[in-house]
Structure 1
Amino acid sequence: MPTMLVNNIKFNYIDKGIGAPIIFLHGVWMSSMFFQKQIDELSKYHRVIAIDFRGHGLSENTNHGHTVSQYAADVKAIIDQLKLEEIVFVGWSMGAFVIWDYIEQFGSHNIKATAIIDESASDFKWDDWPYGFADFPTLIHLMEMIQTDHEHLIDDFLPLMFKDSLDENSQSWMKLELLKVNPATAGTILFDQTTRDYRNKIANFTFPTLLCFGRDSKLVPVEAGEYFLEHINQSELVIFENSGHCPFLEEHEAFNHQLLKFISKI
């Protein structure tokens, strides 16, 4: 897999296929490996790029820059180096936040469309926002667990991402990916992304947006997707009935079909 030096950090990314670029951005603690079923299939029709954020996957571990805003700036620098135009962004979980922060910082002139996978406008349960996954006591607990029993936390967290129980092989490789993120990085980026709130930003979006939500998500309710459908112009909502937080893995054929159909319309 290729690497690139950006902002003095070595980034790992996957770049496969030719044609209009689709950029996949993963969730907190995850990596580009989670998109393998999209990379293999969609690269038959498009140029598919999946980036490991700094400190994640095979990108360089660093003790600084672990904010959604910096991750967005890193993505912008990678796009500039690759000279990409007319991008379709696909953001899963925190990856959606990175897209929204990218737009806030750099505008949307180079974005053709976005697809959002199972993310809320904020992951925090504000007084007027019931669709987050964490209140303050929950966030404190997670931060403590990251520092004192990181591996146990991952064992507990991974099953929450799926409707059905994970098989032993899937649990194993996913756990190894998450453990690549050191506890200091894991806690820093979790706090930063959880306390962000993009409700006041999304109403200004002017490009097509595909909303992909799992019916059985234990982390993000379908109502969060319905909120987007109401507040984002040119948006459409697809609910994957047999998925949790990861429809691109749990129903990968249906997900790939819906994404390709969406892109073909724009």
Structure 2
Amino acid sequence: MKNLTMKTSDSVNINYIIEGSGKPLLLVPGWSCSLHFFDKNISELSKKFKVIAVDLRGHGESDKPDHGYRIARFAMDIKELLDYLDVKDVTIAGWSMGASILWSYLELFGNHRVSKHISIDQSPAQYFAPDWKWGQLGCYDVESYLRLCASLQYEERANAEGTVYGCLHKEPTKEEVEFLSNEIMKCPARVKIDIMRDHTNLDWRDFIPHISVPTLVCVAKQSQVFPWQGSAWVGENIPNAKIEYFENCGHMLFWDDPEKFNKVVSEFVLS
């Protein structure tokens, strides 16, 4: 897996990898996570597709600048990467915050270079509200966000390990916890705080019904991050979307059950 680099319009080096050939499939990871969270998927999916996986700015091996930690800027980085690679008819797949980034992409740039869309276990609204009861179980209002900030400042490693355990339904090995936590620790606490400040305040319920590309929504029935109903709402409100339930999986459903995830994604991209 060879690391490649693209420089954005605001001079930030974005790390990405390309494996395989065929129809392009872009994988966008979630908050604080690197492209290596898809390590159980990239090699298998690359047997059929040109898999592009990216480290968001501030994450993984990408630059950690002092600016640009907003969902909209991440969406622009994705656009600039697809333009740089000059790929067309791309299936864009975003997990967790990565799904929100792709919703922002579709809102800002329409279906530019995109033919299909995969949303992986993300609620359209993070905060609980009188009209929304399926928010993020760990960061669901301003007070819980402030507690998260304190945890990141004073217990960053414990927070990273807690994120790993919280994202998985199946008990991870010590090696898995260490590997995934190390990847999370590549994202500085200040970056995690800045992007969560933006991400957690956004509500996509007005836009989601206007998504017009064929869509697959993957829902983790055992997620400890979102009530599954919130992720399912996305599929229920995108016209003609297909919903796939992962019954015995946590938030990282592609790690808990990579065989099913790889199969479902392959069938959707080829359909």
- What TM-score bracket applies, with the shorter chain setting the length? over 0.9
* Cα displacement string for residues 82-101 of structure 1 (whole angstroms, at most 9, x for unaligned residues): 00111100000000011010
Aligned to 1:54, the other structure's residue is in SS state coil
How far apart are 1:165 and its partner, in Å? 2.0
- Equivalence for 1:194: 200
Q: 2:7 aligns with which of 2, 5, 21?
A: 5
Matched, 1:140 2:154: no
Q: Which amino acid aligns with 1:240?
A: F
For 1:261 and 1:106, how far apart are their aligned partners in 2? 26
Residues 1:48 and 2:48 are matched in the alignment: no
1:120-159 residue pairs with structure 2 within 5 A? 120-133=123-136, 134-159=140-165
Question: Hey, what does 1:182 align to over in structure 2?
Answer: 188
- For residues 228 and 84 of structure 1, the distance between their equivalents in structure 2, rounded to whole angstroms, comes to 27
Aligned counterparts of 1:56 and 1:229: Cα–Cα separation in 2: 28
Asked if 2 retains the 8 angstrom alpha-carbon contact of 1:226 and 1:237, the reply is: yes
Counterpart Cα distance in 1 of 2:235 and 2:134: 15
Task: Look up the SS of the partner of 1:113 in the other structure.
Answer: strand
Deviations 1:182-225 (A, max 9, x none): 11111001111111111000111111111111111011122123
Match of 1:243 among 239, 244, 249: 249
Runs of 4+ in 1 over 3 A off after TM superposition: none
Counterpart of 1:251, as a letter, is D
Q: Match of 1:223?
A: 229
Tell whether the 8 Å contact from 1:207 to 1:234 is kept in structure 2 after alignment.
Answer: no
Secondary structure of 1:200's counterpart equals coil
Contact 2:167 2:250 in 1 (8 A): yes
Asked if structure 1 preserves the Cα contact closer than 8 Å seen for 2:219 and 2:232, the reply is no
State the match for 2:266 in structure 1.
Answer: 260
Distance 2:225 2:4 in 1: 33
Distance 2:113 2:130 in 1: 35
Give distance in 1, aligned partners of 2:223 and 2:231. Answer: 12
What is the deviation of 1:38? Answer: 1.7
Equivalent pair of 1:55/1:185 in contact (CA under 8 Å)? yes
The CA RMSD over aligned residues, in Å, is 1.1
After TM superposition, the score normalised by the length of structure 2 is 0.95
**Cα separation, 2, equivalents of 1:54 and 1:141:** 24
Q: Structure 1 vs Structure 2: percent identity of aligned residues? A: 31
Please, which runs of 5 or more residues in structure 1 have no aligned partner? none
Aligned counterparts, 1:71-150, within 5 A:
71-133=74-136, 134-150=140-156
Q: TM-score, normalised by structure 1?
A: 0.97
Q: Write out per-residue CA displacement over residues 147-206 of structure 1, whole angstroms, 9 at most, x where no aligned residue.
A: 222112222222111112221000001110111111111100111111111100011111
Q: How many angstroms apart in 2 are the aligned matches of 1:191 and 1:2?
A: 29
SS in 2 for 1:165: coil
